[in-house]
Structure 1
Amino acid sequence: MRSYIIDKLYERVEKRGVVCVGLDTALEYVPEHIREGRTPAEAIFQFNKEIIDSTCDIAACFKVQIAYYEALGLEGLTAYKRTLDYLRKKDQIIIADIKRGDIAATAKMYAKAHFQGDFEADFITLSPYMGMDSIEPYLPYLESGNKGVFSLVRTSNKGAEDIEYLDTTFNKKVYEVVADKITEMGEDYIGECGYTAIGGVIGCTHVEEGKKIRANYNSMFFLIPGYGAQGGKAEDVALYLNNGNGGVVNSSRGILLAYKKENRAKEFSLCAREEVIKMRDAIREAVKRA
């Protein structure tokens, strides 16, 4: 068995806990004293930088949602690049949340754009709902051992029920068919930790089948959204973990806006750190009780 980027992520979870800090940073999240005298893009980067500095020793990884940066045009993409560069400088694991899903020729260009060059990340998120050939162009980058992907499987939004929960002729839900195919594709990229470099995005807001999903896809490492602002709780998350590992749990607004709960804008980065610790410890306790 060879080493993959998923092994590094697994080790980070073992040491630091499961929290993935989501840098889905909107300008209105940034306190006024950071915005003052800076362009929007500069303010967002400065905010991100201070959040990273405050949490980098207790976060398993960081997820950067590109839409928040694209919305600001070229300046925003510069802030996105600067954020990725800074995370790399701090030796942090980066998940670029880009959710790409397109025909193979286009996917090849997306892979080049986000696995090398200005927007290089360690993991990227993908949508498989155009078919598995929309994921295949990313696989050559996984061969190096330094890259991985998280494919949408069962998401945290209410609209997941519109398509992902439809019954198929295989007596399975659509998301289960997708998970089966992702698992099969990942068999060629299993790391020393027993998980594959092709992970799955599994929201924690639909808890009824949580234990079943974890048991059925035991080699799939999960990126788990839905905690906090979307309603997911620590005990919900625990269902999707294996002895406290096997996944990372993303929180964006809950961490970035923690300072607003106590009106501590000047201490926003300290509040973020406190929130990460609180979240990490709550999930650890829930795992013990599960």
Structure 2
Amino acid sequence: MRYNMDRLYERVADKGHVCVGLDTAPDYIPPSELRKAESPAEAVLKYNRAIIDATSDIAACFKLQIAYYEELGIAGLEVYARTLAYLRERDLLAIADIKRGDIADTASRYARAHFEGEFEADFVTLAPYMGMDSITPWLAYAERRGKGAFVLMRTSNPGMRDFEYRELAAGGRLYDAVGDKLAELARESAGKYGYGAFGAVVGCTEREEASVIRRKRENLFFLIPGYGAQGGAADDAALLLSNGNGGVVNASRSILKAWNAAGISPEDATNETAAGCAREAAAEMRDAIRTAAAHRAGPAKQAVQNQPKKAVCLSEA
């Protein structure tokens, strides 16, 4: 079986570590584009397509947080499905950030909903705290269709310490117990590059623990949140990589709203200019992480390779 995690490993090797988060809210979109669109949902779809087109050769994958689409109702879920379809048409990898955590038949139906049909994605995110029977129903799709998942292990939000850091009677923290179970699963589904079909969500905002987690979880591919707006930097993310691979680093607002940071007047901004700024932000992020990973790997790997020419982020003269 060729797992999607193998495909993701190869995309990282080819394109770098950036996962573009399509957590697209209507207020992130240039006002002129909102006015032209038939609805806020339609404006989100057009914006998503512009961002995807601008970053497809830079991004290893794209992540859609479903909440941003659910809040727009049925029209928003249609845009969610159409964005996933657009990514499939372009042979781009999609992570459905749905954080499902139910068990048994309910979990199987969630798996069918998000690994087949209109909401089909290559990966999902899962919450493990009802136990392994909230994870294992998804495995049939990994075995049959190569699908993958990222399971919440040690996240990047301040509240992670409420539960994830609880000390266990047997030793270690709760997130360590999650990692142990995922490592067992990974050994049973090891792909071409040694990673399991299911990886882990590990935030890059706790630098002092990152290298230890990476060493302990050699067979887990990481989805790494916390970069940019949450305070994580390239050096932090690089600590969670293994020989320059083994993880993708998500950024959403810093890419989707890059045109705001560039100082472009809202009335002058268009999807085209916003996409140009998104491309530049994604390229800068990719290069920074590659450089940090190369420095960590040692002098022999410090050359930054395959850097496509940056797009010009058009701003006011």
Task: Give the TM-score, by structure 2 length.
Answer: 0.90
Structure possessing the higher radius of gyration over alpha carbons: 2
Residue 196 of structure 1 and its aligned partner are, at CA, apart by 0.8
Per the TM alignment, residue 65 of structure 1 is displaced from its structure 2 partner at its CA by 0.5
CA drift of 1:270 comes to 0.4
Residue by residue over 1:9-60, the C-alpha shift from the partner in whole angstroms, topping out at 9 and shown as x without a partner, is 0000000000000000111101112112320110000000000000001100
Is 2:19–2:61's contact at 8 Å kept on the other side of the alignment?
Answer: yes
Aligned counterpart, 2:171? 171
Aligned to 1:55: 55
User: In the alignment, what sits opposite 2:313?
Assistant: none
RMSD, aligned CA? 0.9
1:105 alignment partner AA: D
1:18 aligned onto 2:17? yes
- Structure 2, gaps ≥5 residues long: 297-317
* SS, match of residue 36 in structure 1: helix
* Distance (Å, rounded) in 2 between the aligned partners of 1:177 and 1:121: 27
Aligned-partner SS, 2:97: strand
Deviation at 1:3, TM superposition (A): 2.3
> Where do residues 36-185 of structure 1 align in structure 2 (5 Å cutoff)?
36-38=35-37, 39-185=39-185
CA drift at 1:114: 0.2
Name the residue aligned to 2:286.
280
Post-superposition Cα deviations, 1:44-100, rounded to whole Å, max 9, x if no partner, equal 000000000000011000000000000010000011011001011111000000000
Q: Which amino acid aligns with 1:271?
A: C
Offset at residue 287 of structure 1 (A)? 1.2
- 1:170-209 to structure 2, matched below 5 A, reads 170-209=170-209
CA distance in 2, matches of 1:105, 1:169: 32
Indicate yes or no: 2:247 matched with 1:241: no
TM-score by length of structure 1 reads 0.98
Cα deviation for residue 289 of structure 1 reads 2.1
Deviation track 1:182-203 (CA, whole Å, cap 9, x = no partner) reads 1112222111011111100000
How many percent identity over aligned positions?
A: 56
Worse-matched range after superposition: 172-181 or 280-289: 280-289
Q: What is the alpha-carbon distance in structure 2 between the residues aligned to residue 158 and residue 72 of structure 1?
A: 27
* Structure 1 runs, 4 residues or longer, greater than 4 Å off: none
Between 1:279-288 and 1:213-222, the stretch displaced more is 279-288
Structure 1 CA distance, aligned partners of 2:258 and 2:236?
Answer: 21
Query: What residue number does 2:7 align with?
Result: 8
- Match in the other structure for 2:302: none
1:232 aligns with 2:238: no
Aligned residues: 289
State the one-letter code of the partner of 1:57: D
- Paired AA for residue 157 in structure 1: N
* In 1: Cα distance, 2:90 partner to 2:295 partner: 34
Worse overlay, 233-242 or 2-11: 2-11
